[in-house]
Chains A and B, each alone.
Chain A
């Protein structure tokens, strides 16, 4: 990797909040660790599904959800480490071409929950390039507030699959922990989305 490293400057909490402020009736899957706390900090919502385990699952949960609910936008908000564990999901999602799915990586280029070790993205790996090469309809890397502002409507409305890596600093944000019982999270999500059908 010979490219010079470009230092991220965006704040993760502000970026996640700016994206989620315009969620409308979207369904949200949060990847384990800091993206869960970012999503919770932007405001808890019954249509948020927070993963506290199953690293590498977030994008594929989003795919299953997007195929089941083609009329609803599905946003996956996850981290660079979590996404790197599921690179095959880029290929699997691209094959399905879900128009309603956007995968957003809050990319601080580090494993934040385990001691801030560098991830592959700090060492030059380009997640957006990989998503694009797999067959995502749109993919980009966001460094500046202006780029974020331009990408937010695309994340919410552009025909998917859409991928965006939002480059953020490693500054520590206060812990905002959502509910963690898996059945509670599942049941409240399904009841909010499906109503009485959730109990069939």
Chain B
């Protein structure tokens, strides 16, 4: 795990506020734990824990139809659960910002995480999602800001893939 508390989750939370994000759906990942905590304690946002990530794709669609912006937080394994539902996003041109923390990638210990990690960017791209990877902590906030503008201004699905290099490698001890 990262030894110092990163500042980017707090900055992303402020960014959500400035971009008028109202519904934040998630299946937890360690890399998103601080951001989830901030969203849960913010009365201007609705935190929506999901049982599976594809629920969030549908939730954001309903939110947009109702006039609210939604964001979906997940780890890379959850991307695989979303694939068919992303067809609806593409067909209806629903703005969807996905923040994906990667597993199975940078110094991973668990071999079962590797296949989906390898497939994450290609399957998202295959479903028409704009994919924007981030390798450095210093670039997370500006990338999420740009991805949010792209998603909400052009009615597109945009996924920011946050490297395990940024979130820290899970240690099994």
Which residues of A does B touch, CB under 8 Å? 27, 29, 49, 51-69, 86, 88-89, 91-92, 95-96, 182-183, 185-186, 189-190, 193-194, 197-198
Contact = CB atoms under 8 A, between A and B. Distances in A.
B77 interface: no
A68 B94 CA distance: 15
A64 B23 contact: yes
A198 B22 CA distance: 16
A194 B59 CA distance: 18
Contacts of B61: 54, 57, 61, 64
Nearest to B86: A54
A182 B92 contact: yes
Going nearest first, the 5 A-B pairs with the smallest beta carbon separation are: A64-B62, A68-B66, A88-B51, A60-B58, A182-B92
A161 B43 CA distance: 21
A96 B23 CA distance: 12
Contact of A89 (B55, B65, B88, B94): B55
A68 B51 contact: no
Given A53-B88, A54-B87, A92 B70 contact: no
Contacts of A27: 65-66
Main secondary structure of the interface of A (DSSP, over half): helix
Interface residues of B, number: 32
B88 A69 contact: no
A64 B49 contact: no
A182 B50 CA distance: 25
B63 A68 contact: yes
A53 B91 CA distance: 9
B68 A182 contact: no
Interface in B6-63: 22-23, 46, 48-52, 54-63
B92 to A, nearest CB: 4
B92 A185 contact: yes
A198 B52 CA distance: 29
B84 interface: yes
A89 to B, nearest CB: 6
Nearest to B68: A68
Contact of B67 (A29, A51, A62, A197): A197
